[in-house]
Chain A
Amino acid sequence: MSGFIGDWHALLILVVAGFLPNEVWRWAGLWFGSGVDEGSEVLVWVRAVATAILAGVISQILVQPPGALATVPELLRYGAVAAGFAAFMLARRSTFAGVACGEIVLLAGKWWLG
């Protein structure tokens, strides 16, 4: 067990920093859910902050890429995302078309650069 998951410390971190912070909000929805109006102003703000945090994480992966992605030049990373987004818009907001196009640009660019 310890070899597969890591030590108990890693698992504890997963529970404390990963499982509980998520589950707390799900439980809160289960317990207090009936009292919250779906269109309330607080939820508009919450959704905006949650979206912006996610955008920050996307930005973080692109600007300070982990592992193998760091071998791809900066401009090619941004170019691939821009191409993916353009394809997404052109294909009437198809996530699949956008992801496929971004990946093709990344692979082609990296192959071309050698």
Chain B
Amino acid sequence: MPLPPLESPQWKNRFRAFAWGMSAVGTTVLALVLFATYLGIGALAHDTHFSLGWALASTLLIWAGPAQIILISTLGSGATVVQAAVAVTLSAIRLFPMVVSVLPMLRTPQTKRRHLILATHFIAVTLWVECYRLLPRVPRGSRIAFVHGLGCGLVIVCMIATTLGYQLAANLPPLFAAAILMLTPLAFLLSTARNCKEISDVLALVLGLALYPVVAMFHTGVDVLISGMAAGSIAYGVHRWRRRSA
């Protein structure tokens, strides 16, 4: 469904703006990738013995695919709550710059901080990308309602995918269950590769993939953290060194 023109008086109606935001979910290819990812997360939660309700609560409360995968896979492989919390915290730092860059697009001079709390919760990589694409076509005063609709729509899609993935992993023959679990690494690898803009991003991705198996041989319990910090810092170092020598 196409959005009405910016000057249309229909935008004044908040419910309409919300509904347009929700229907915008159907216009993005990323919703498909998200669906595939959450199928994988549902299946992962099932295979690591979490309950379906817990998996759904994690989708609703965390609303960040990588964090959910890190939480489920670290807890599932026997890490302590503290180790899992540290790994998730580090992975979540990337939400900070996303929030910082999206919120100025939503603000009007009348906007109070509390008006932005729900929209802030919805910010993760998909919403961040879609805001850049869609918000220029939404009048500023209606953007918060629009983003609430978009966020709710994406959450609903992912809750359905989480449930489906969980049920499928429980009932499918191992061949298809394996295929659903494979969606997670594939979708994350490729969507991350797609977002790589600078040499530091590419290096971080490649080194991060390669270093983990090496660090995992030491069985520290925080292998993902160590390899991630090391690979990310090396990538950043190369970025600095190239900038200085350029």
Interface residues of A (CB under 8 A from B): 1, 3-6, 10-11, 13-31, 33-34, 36, 38, 41, 43-69, 71-72, 77, 80-81, 84-85, 88, 93, 95-96, 98-99, 102-103, 106-107, 110-111
Q: Is the CB of A111 within 8 A of B175?
A: yes
Knowing A26-B123, A29-B98, A56-B208, say if A51 contacts B201 (CB, 8 Å): yes
Q: Is the CB of B169 within 8 A of A68?
A: yes
Q: Is the CB of B232 within 8 A of A51?
A: yes
Q: Is the CB of A13 within 8 A of B208?
A: no
Interface of B is mostly: helix
Question: How many inter-chain contacts with C-beta < 8 Å in the A-B complex?
Answer: 318
Q: Is the CB of B177 within 8 A of A68?
A: yes
Q: Is the CB of B116 within 8 A of A81?
A: no
Rounded to whole Å, the gap between the CB of A81 and the closest CB of chain B is: 6
Contacts of A14 in B (CB 8 A): 54, 57-58, 61-62, 71
Q: Is the CB of B91 within 8 A of A67?
A: no
Contacts of A99 in B (CB 8 A): 33, 36, 183, 186-187, 190
Q: How far is the CA of A96 from the CA of B216 in the complex (A)?
A: 30
Q: Is the CB of B236 within 8 A of A60?
A: no
Q: Is the CB of A51 within 8 A of B192?
A: yes
1/0 contact trace for B197-237 toward A, CB 8 Å? Answer: 01011011111111111011000000111011111110110
Interface residues of B (CB under 8 A from A): 29, 32-33, 36, 43-44, 46-48, 50-54, 57-58, 61-64, 66-71, 73, 75-77, 81-82, 84-85, 87-101, 103-104, 113, 116-117, 120-121, 123, 169, 174-179, 181-194, 196, 198, 200-201, 203-213, 215-216, 223-225, 227-233, 235-236, 239-240
